[in-house]
Structure 1
Amino acid sequence: MKFEKALVHGRLIKRYKRFLADVELDSGEIVVAHCTNSGSMKSCLENGAEVYLTPNDDPKRKTRFTWEMIKINGDWVGINTGIPNKLAFEAVENKLIPELSSYTYVKREVKFGDSRFDVYAQNASEKCFIEVKNVTMKEGDFALFPDAVTTRGQKHLKTLMTVKQQGLRAVMLYVVQRSDVSKFGPATEIDPNYATLLKIAREACVEILPYQATVTPYEITLTKKLPFVL
């Protein structure tokens, strides 16, 4: 996924009220950027770190910029939670994920019951619902999800199990937007209920696909599947 606009470089002053961040641009101007990430952003927040923002000229927007990434320990970490959905859709549509390469029809944001899944795909013999999550938290060599308690995420796992029970394919796709990890797992200490549900979902044959993305100021690409420990 290539960025449509040239990103603007700056340094993080602070993140606050969850959805806002003060950033000092290279010009010295201090701006307020929208932070799409509602989680704690544990292990990817560092005041003074380099960041990149997407400029926005929509007069209806309260902020002129959207925060895309931050440099932590020399590597870019993608913190925009909207990016993984776009990445996943493009990857399935273009057959870039081997496990999901057999589909002839792909659509975003499809309802199932009282839930809405990020990607739906089908071919002549199979229908597949795919939920996508953004992963930014790091602990040792592990990328962990979630970084805050997520009742919504728990609901998605339960609904994926219902999808599977109805004879359809159910996939939980984790997009790890950082390159300094080599494994994936649930953040049991942060949300033990989610971790337990993820294990139950796997036992119910919901497929778990953690894919690592390479993040740069020009594009973000899915690169490889990570091993996982549940």
Structure 2
Amino acid sequence: MKFTLPLVHGRLIKRYKRFLANVLLDDGTIVTAHCTNSGSMKSCIEENAEVYLSPATDPKRKTKYTWEMILIEGSWVGVHTTHPNQIVYEAIVNNEIPQLKHYNKVQREVKVKDSRLDIVAMNEDETCFIEVKNASMKQGNSVLFPDAVTSRGKKHLHTLISLKEEGYRAVMVYLIQRVDVDTFGVASDIDPDYSSTLKQAHEAGVEIIPLQARVTPSEISIVRELPYSL
């Protein structure tokens, strides 16, 4: 996924009220940026760290910028949580994910049962339902999900389990917007219910694919699949 407009550089002053962040731009201006990440953002917050913002294209929007990434220990970490859906969608369409190749019809935001799943991919032989989550919380050499309790995430897992039982292919993709980790795991201490439900989904045949992406001020691109442990 390439950024269509040049990003704006600054330094983080603080994040507050979950969805807002104050940023000091290079010209000395202090602006308020929208933060799409509703989680705790553990390991992704460092005051005075370099950040990049994208300018809003809607002149009526209250916040004129969106927070895109932050520099943590010399590596960019993506904090925009709606990008993973688009990144994975584009990669499937372009046959860039080995496990999700050869689909000739790919749709986003599909209503299924009582959930709305991110992607459905189809070919002559099968229909594959895919949910995408952003994972960014670093602990040691691993990235863990979730960084806050997620009842919505648990609901999506139950939907995938149900679809798998009906004979569909069901896949849980975790997009990791940082390259300073080598494995993926579950934060069972933060959300034990999600952890147990993911194990249940795995046992039911729901596939788990953690994908690591490199984040730069010009683009975000998938680089490899990470091993995982539940």
Does the TM-score normalized on the shorter chain lie above 0.5? yes
Match of 1:210 in 2: 210
Query: In the alignment, what sits opposite 2:45?
Result: 45
1:58 CA displacement: 1.1
Q: Which runs of 4+ in 1 moved over 2 A?
A: none
- What pairs up with 1:183-222 in 2 under 5 angstroms? 183-222=183-222
Separation (CA, whole Å) in 1 of partners of 2:105 and 2:58: 32
CA distance in 1: counterparts of 2:214 and 2:147, whole angstroms: 20
Q: What RMSD, in angstroms, separates the aligned Cα atoms of the two structures? A: 0.5
CA distance in 1, matches of 2:176, 2:57: 29
1:133-192, CA deviations, whole angstroms, 9 ceiling, x for partnerless residues? 001100001100000000000000011000101100000000000010000011011001
Superposed CA deviations along residues 25-71 of structure 1, whole A, max 9, x for unmatched, are: 00000000000000000011001000000011412211000000000
Correspondence list, 1:111-122, <5 A:
111-122=111-122
1:88 aligns with 2:92: no
Distance 1:28 1:179 in 2: 30
| Unmatched segments (≥5 aa) in structure 1 | none
TM-score by length of structure 2 reads: 0.99
Q: CA deviation at 1:102?
A: 1.6
1:177 corresponds to 2:195: no
Which residue is equivalent to 1:4?
4
3-state SS of 1:213 partner:
strand
Aligned to 1:45, the other structure's residue is in SS state coil
- Structure 2, unaligned stretches of length 5 or more? none
SS at match of 2:228: coil
Distance in 2 (CA, whole Å) between partners of 1:192 and 1:181 is 22
1:20 aligned residue: 20
**Percent identity of equivalent pairs:** 62
SS where residue 102 of structure 1 aligns? Answer: coil
Match of 1:149 in 2: 149
